[in-house]
Amino acid sequence: MDIFIAGFGTVGQGVAEVMKERAAWFERRFDECVRIVGALDSSSFEFSSNGLDPEILIRRKKMTGKVGTIELKDESCHILRQFDYDVLVEVTPMNISTGEPGYSNILTAMESGKDVITSNKGPLALKFSELIRIAKRNGVQLRFEATVGGATPVINLSRELLMGERISSIRGILNGTCNFILHRMREEGLPFAQALKEAQEIGIAERDPTYDIEGVDSACKAAILANAIFDLNKTYKDVKRVGISGITEDAIALAAEEKKVIRLIAEISSKRLEVSPRLVPVGHPLSIGGTLNIIQLSTDLAGEITVVGRGAGKFETASAILSDLVALLKDKSTR
């Protein structure tokens, strides 16, 4: 199975490392040589139909800032059209206005008959139904476990292992940065601005934290879950959304008096699609602190199922991509 990695930052390099480390296992378990044949970043690319050494790609990226030896003169989707491979791993940055370059990369690959695995929320939070339609039309798979948290494998869990269950609703904390801020406000009595500054200083919040604190990131994930699990046709703009920037120390203190915490909760069902700060009793699973993500599925037979894990990180996200890759390999081996 030949892989092309578009985007060679944190996640792309994590995937390359994992593929190198798991190469012998792929061979043993699936009788399949899984290799990287192509990789690109914002300024360069590399391709070899004989396979590329992940270690060399990573070393070159670290030393020169470029993954490839060939200059990227055109948009990445044109490169993806030129070469032959089986699976595109699309891990370029999210753009919530246009979905680009991810949208064109995914489209190009699928229209050339390639399966796609992505961690990029932008294209799916904007054009989910269209992309799924195009995947079906071309007889390819579009897999996206990594778009809703790295180590919270809830999409494949719901759609594959829990396929026969009726899932009535999903609730969860889908953004670790907001959770960290709310947790620090409560633990240390910090004002919002100071807790945010702390999150920025330790590198878990962006310099422009709007996506996180205004709930846009959580809304994107909620829309993807609504579409993937409840078969709806939503974009992140359809999610009723309130962020956490208006949460005061007083509100946190009042909640504490009632033995409650405030958490940014996403609620997803066929009737409800919302991200907003909620009061959660101390001790309830959704009162979890720190940067962890948590997702609870309400099912008719199994009852409540709770998944907790780190939402972001190089290997956590590579783990979600690996689960999609394994699903493609299993599918191929049973065909």
Ligand X SMILES: NC(=O)c1ccc[n+]([C@@H]2O[C@H](COP(=O)([O-])OP(=O)(O)OC[C@H]3O[C@@H](n4cnc5c(N)ncnc54)[C@H](OP(=O)(O)O)[C@@H]3O)[C@@H](O)[C@H]2O)c1
Q: Is 101 in the site for ligand X (CB under 6 A)?
A: yes
Distances (CA, A) of 58 to 2, 13, 19, 35: 18, 6, 12, 15
Q: Which of 18, 40, 154, 155 binds ligand X (CB under 6 A)?
A: 40
Task: Give the active site residue among 66, 221, 234, 260.
Answer: 221
Name the residue nearer to ligand X (CB basis): 158 or 319. Answer: 319
* 185 touches ligand X (CB under 6 A): no
Helix (H, G, I), strand (E, B) or coil at 27: helix
Residue 329 binds ligand X, judged by CB under 6 A: no
Dihedral class, residue 31 (left if φ above 0, else alpha if ψ from -120 to 50, else beta)? left
How far is 212 from 176, CA to CA, in rounded Å?
A: 9
Torsion, Cα 230 234 237 241, to 10 degrees, reads -10
Closest residue to ligand X, based on beta-carbon distance: 9
Between CA 324 and CA 1 the distance in angstroms is: 13
Are 1 and 34 spatial neighbours (Cβ–Cβ below 8 Å)? Answer: yes
Among 36, 106, 109, 119, binds ligand X (CB under 6 A): 119
Q: Which of residues 53-92 bind ligand X (CB under 6 A)?
A: 76, 91-92
Q: Which of 3, 5, 11, 329 binds ligand X (CB under 6 A)?
A: 11
Among 10, 169, 276, 306, binds ligand X (CB under 6 A): 10
Q: Could you tell me if 54 and 19 are in contact, meaning their C-beta atoms sit under 8 angstroms apart?
A: yes
CA distance 258 to 261: 9
Contact (Cβ atoms closer than 8 angstroms) between residue 40 and residue 123: no
127 binds ligand X (CB under 6 A): no
114: annotated active-site residue:
no
Q: Helices H, strands E: what count in the chain?
A: 12, 13
Site string for ligand X, 144-183 (x = CB under 6 A): --x---x---------------------------------
* Shortest separation between residue 249's beta carbon and ligand X, angstroms: 30
The binding track of 289-318 with respect to ligand X, each residue x by CB under 6 A or -, is -----------------------xx---x-
Sign of the alpha-carbon dihedral angle for 39, 54, 26, 22: negative
Contact pick of 8, 26, 85, 230 for ligand X (by CB under 6 A): 8
Residue 66 or 241 with smaller CB distance to ligand X: 66
Which x/- pattern over 202-241 shows residues binding ligand X (rule: CB under 6 A)?
A: ----------------------------------------
The number of residues that bind ligand X (CB under 6 A) is 24
Q: Least CB distance from residue 225 to ligand X, whole Å?
A: 14
Cβ atoms within 10 Å of 30's Cβ, excluding its own? 16
Q: How far is the CB of 158 from ligand X (least distance, A)?
A: 18
Of residues 4 and 26, the one with the C-beta less far from ligand X:
4
Q: Could you list the beta-strand ranges (E) of the chain.
A: 2-6, 35-40, 44-52, 70-71, 87-90, 115-118, 142-143, 167-173, 240-241, 260-268, 273-281, 292-299, 303-310
Task: Classify residue 259 as exposed, middle or buried by CB count within 10 Å of its CB (0-12, 13-18, 19+).
Answer: exposed
94 touching ligand X, by CB under 6 A: yes
Other CB atoms within 10 Å distance of the CB of residue 50: 6
Active site residues: 221
Binding site residues, ligand X, CB under 6 A: 7-12, 40-43, 76, 91-94, 101, 119-121, 146, 150, 312-313, 317
